[in-house]
């Protein structure tokens, strides 16, 4: 108990230090936030490398920092393969999106879309899509963040969600994009430092040899036992060495290749349509700086995922998948537990220091990502819907715009806390995939085609946004991702029917404990679902087998933009093409924030 309280004191001290640093930065930033341009885009005063770090800070969410390390620790190769798409996504951002967006846009996604299209309609669909994508992503972050903070420092879930929300709100409300940028930079630097330190400590005993480290991983009995559990019956004919080697081969997590390709498409094209990432390109002054920021971001993000390879396999080797899954079934605690082990375990001061440090970084990660998302959603609400649509044609003073932005931030922030608490205990992992799918199916085709296709017009944008969003959300609602009571209850009955036979065959106390756990879960499932027979959508079984809608909804989104554009005649969009085309390629008259007129 004494060790426990000493541990908590240490954790709180480190958390307080991280929060104090970001608060000082926010206080300094507040003095620089006067106009709408300062609030939304830090007045365009961010340099290329700073923006690169901030993009990494905005992008490396808890899902990628903790989730991918966890996936590798539990499923080996497939987890690592999953991480690749998160980096490759930036090639599309670099080549097709970043520079033209900087040259054409101003504050939001809709600013790019309405440049040559009918402003009212495009602003409305652009803002709705921004709010949809950001809300899905935000909900996943708030729920995931609440659970993490609860696990890491032992305060209850609701308090965790409120703490994340209030801290994020204070950064964004006080310091706008200036503070958000610096919080993201600080978080990215801390994240990279923490990961580097752990990887050095994990890898050094092997003289930094990759085969030597991996050889130890596959020779580990915990890893071999994990593979045996995952494979089930086929594992009985395999030797221990074969089981270990299997951990480095594909197929332990992704069973259906089509799901994985579909998920890959959503990642690779969706990143270029994420409003909170697009928004970051308006914080730099020129296309060259935008390019430089993506290159920096790619170095940091890619380097980080290479480090996660060691974090994941290191956790599988040292902590063991059973212990990781016991704390959190998704494997989210793999990184923090590895940090604790590397520092000497739960009884050593350094071990607890490492755990506390990684926990503080995880907390900063959640807050920084949430801040970026709230800013994106609030800008769509205030800049696009309020200033651009409701008060269209009226002059809104700079102070009025900043006030609208702050009010919108407060609304989005309060909503995110509310949704976070309401969604307690829900499986929100599907929402991250859905956010990427909507971004890839609606935002990406619209942004890409308005920038690169002459005939694209208002009809295409409206059709693409609606069809892309509806297709992605609709396909997810009828997919196997939702809970289907009949299937769950059938599985539970199967577990209960097999209980007696399994108990008879069990050899160790560990086997018996696993059976007890499975039986308890089966009873809980039966009690929870009661007489329900259909999913939330009123379906007894999924209509489609596809877990991620990308492979269908992305082509549909593109098709909708093309057909919508061809069906509608839009003289303005066509006559503006030369300007859009010349502007995005030359950077002439690029909006420097406050000075240029919209």
Partner 1 sequence: MANEDAVDWDAIIRDPRFVDLHRRKSRFLWGLMALSVGYYFLLPIGAAWCQPLFRLRVWGVINVGLLFALSEFVVAWLIAWVYSRRAGRDFDRLAALIAADHRIKP
In the complex, minimum distance from the CB of residue 129 to partner 1, in angstroms, rounded to a whole number: 23
- Rank residues 96 and 189 by Cβ distance to partner 1 and give the closer one: 96
- Rank residues 294 and 462 by Cβ distance to partner 1 and give the closer one: 294
The contacts of residue 265 (CB under 8 Å, 6+ apart) are 440, 550, 551, 554
Taking the mean position of all CA atoms in its chain, how far away is CA 310?
A: 21
Q: State the CB neighbour count (10 A cutoff) for residue 535.
A: 21
Q: Which of 445, 460, 440 is nearest to 118 (CA)?
A: 460
Does position 235 interact with partner 1 (CB under 8 A)? The reply is no
Measured CA distances, 9 to 3, 14, 21, 160, 535 (Å)? 10, 9, 18, 17, 45
Does position 248 interact with partner 1 (CB under 8 A)? The reply is yes
In the complex, minimum distance from the CB of residue 504 to partner 1, in angstroms, rounded to a whole number: 36
Measured CA distances, 478 to 82, 434, 464, 537, 540 (Å)? 24, 13, 21, 7, 10
Phi-psi label, residue 208: left if phi above 0, alpha if psi -120 to 50, beta otherwise: left
Q: What is the largest CA-CA distance in the chain?
A: 79
Q: What token pair was written down for 27?
A: 């206080």
Lay out the site mask for partner 1 across 283-312 (x = CB under 8 A, - = otherwise).
-----x--xx-xx--xx--x--xx------
Q: Which of 264, 192, 593 is nearest to 437 (CA)?
A: 264
| Residue pair 366/161 in contact by the 8 Å Cβ criterion | no
Contacting residue, 21, 23, 81, 487, with partner 1 by CB under 8 A: 81
Lay out the site mask for partner 1 across 339-358 (x = CB under 8 A, - = otherwise).
--------------------
Measured between alpha carbons, how far is 84 from 485 in angstroms, rounded to an integer?
Answer: 34
In the complex, minimum distance from the CB of residue 191 to partner 1, in angstroms, rounded to a whole number: 18
Measured between alpha carbons, how far is 461 from 464 in angstroms, rounded to an integer?
Answer: 5
Near partner 1 in 194-233, by CB under 8 A? 210-212, 214-215, 218
Q: What token pair was written down for 562?
A: 């093309």
Lay out the site mask for partner 1 across 25-64 (x = CB under 8 A, - = otherwise).
----------------------------------------
Contacting residue, 80, 107, 341, 484, with partner 1 by CB under 8 A: 80
Contacting residue, 37, 245, 469, 548, with partner 1 by CB under 8 A: 245
Does position 92 interact with partner 1 (CB under 8 A)? The reply is yes
User: DSSP string of 445-461?
Assistant: HHHHHHHH-TT--HHHH
- Rank residues 306 and 512 by Cβ distance to partner 1 and give the closer one: 306
Phi-psi label, residue 176: left if phi above 0, alpha if psi -120 to 50, beta otherwise: left
- Rank residues 7 and 106 by Cβ distance to partner 1 and give the closer one: 106
Measured between alpha carbons, how far is 325 from 190 in angstroms, rounded to an integer?
Answer: 26
- Rank residues 200 and 210 by Cβ distance to partner 1 and give the closer one: 210
In the complex, minimum distance from the CB of residue 586 to partner 1, in angstroms, rounded to a whole number: 4
- Rank residues 99 and 141 by Cβ distance to partner 1 and give the closer one: 99
Does position 410 interact with partner 1 (CB under 8 A)? The reply is no
Does position 417 interact with partner 1 (CB under 8 A)? The reply is no
Near partner 1 in 98-127, by CB under 8 A? none
Show the CA angle centred on residue 367, arms to residues 361 and 371, nearest 5°: 140
Q: Where do contacts with partner 1 occur on this chain (CB under 8 A)? A: 77-78, 80-81, 84-85, 87-88, 90-92, 94-96, 210-212, 214-215, 218, 244-245, 248-251, 254, 257, 260-261, 264, 268, 288, 291-292, 294-295, 298-299, 302, 305-306, 578-579, 581-583, 585-589, 595-597
């Amino acid at each position: 108990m004494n060790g426990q309280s000493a541990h908590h004191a240490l954790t709180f001290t480190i958390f307080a230090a991280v929060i104090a640093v970001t608060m000082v930065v926010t206080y300094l930033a507040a003095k620089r936030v006067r106009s709408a341009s300062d609030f939304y885009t830090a007045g365009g005063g961010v340099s290329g490398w700073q923006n690169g770090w901030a993009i990494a800070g905005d992008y490396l969410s808890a899902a990628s920092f903790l989730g991918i390390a966890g996936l590798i620790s539990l499923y080996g190769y497939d987890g690592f393969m999953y991480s690749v798409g998160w980096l490759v996504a930036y090639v599309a951002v670099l080549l097709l999106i970043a520079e033209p967006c900087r040259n054409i846009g101003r504050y939001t996604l809709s600013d790019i879309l309405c440049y040559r299209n009918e402003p009212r309609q495009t602003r409305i669909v652009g803002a709705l899509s921004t709010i949809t994508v950001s809300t899905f992503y935000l909900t996943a972050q708030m729920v995931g963040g609440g659970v993490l903070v609860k696990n890491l420092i032992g305060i209850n879930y609701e308090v965790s969600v409120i703490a994340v929300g209030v801290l994020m709100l204070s950064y964004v409300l006080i310091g706008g994009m200036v503070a958000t940028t610096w919080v993201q930079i600080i978080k990215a630097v801390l994240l990279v430092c923490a990961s580097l330190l752990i990887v050095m400590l994990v890898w050094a005993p092997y003289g930094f040899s990759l085969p030597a480290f991996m050889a130890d991983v596959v020779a580990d009995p915990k890893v071999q036992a994990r593979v045996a559990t995952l494979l089930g019956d086929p594992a009985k004919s395999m030797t221990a060495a074969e089981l270990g080697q299997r951990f480095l081969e594909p197929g332990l997590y992704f069973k259906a290749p089509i799901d994985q390709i579909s998920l890959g498409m959503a990642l690779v094209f969706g990143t270029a349509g994420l409003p909170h990432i697009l928004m970051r390109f308006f914080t730099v002054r020129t296309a060259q700086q935008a390019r430089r920021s993506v290159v920096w971001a790619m170095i940091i993000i890619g380097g980080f995922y290479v480090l996660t390879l060691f974090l994941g396999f290191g956790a599988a080797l040292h902590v063991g998948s059973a212990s990781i899954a016991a704390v959190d079934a998704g494997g989210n605690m793999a990184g923090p537990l590895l940090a604790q082990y590397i520092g000497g375990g739960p009884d050593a001061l350094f071990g607890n220091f490492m755990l506390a440090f990684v926990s503080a970084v995880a907390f900063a990660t959640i807050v920084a990502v949430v801040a970026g998302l709230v800013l994106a959603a609030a800008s769509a609400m205030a800049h696009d819907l309020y200033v651009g649509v409701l008060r269209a044609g009226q002059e809104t003073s700079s102070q009025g715009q900043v006030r609208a932005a702050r009010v919108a931030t407060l609304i989005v922030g309060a909503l995110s806390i509310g949704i976070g608490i309401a969604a307690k205990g829900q499986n929100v992992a599907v929402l991250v995939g859905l956010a990427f799918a909507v971004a890839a199916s609606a935002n990406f085709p619209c942004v890409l085609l308005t920038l690169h296709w002459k005939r694209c017009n208002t009809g295409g944008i409206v059709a693409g946004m609606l069809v892309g969003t509806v297709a992605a959300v609709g396909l997810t609602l009828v997919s196997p991702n939702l809970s289907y009571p009949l299937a769950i209850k059938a599985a539970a009955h199967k577990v209960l029917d097999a209980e007696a036979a399994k108990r008879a065959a069990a050899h160790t106390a560990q086997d018996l404990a696993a059976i007890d756990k499975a039986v308890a879960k089966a009873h809980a499932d039966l009690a929870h679902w009661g007489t329900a027979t259909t999913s939330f959508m009123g379906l007894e079984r999924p209509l489609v087998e596809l877990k991620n809608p990308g492979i269908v909804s992305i082509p549909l989104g593109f098709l909708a933009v093309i057909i919508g554009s061809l069906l509608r005649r839009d003289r303005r969009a066509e006559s503006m093409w030369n300007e859009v085309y010349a502007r995005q390629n030359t950077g002439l008259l690029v909006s420097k924030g406050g000075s240029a007129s919209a």
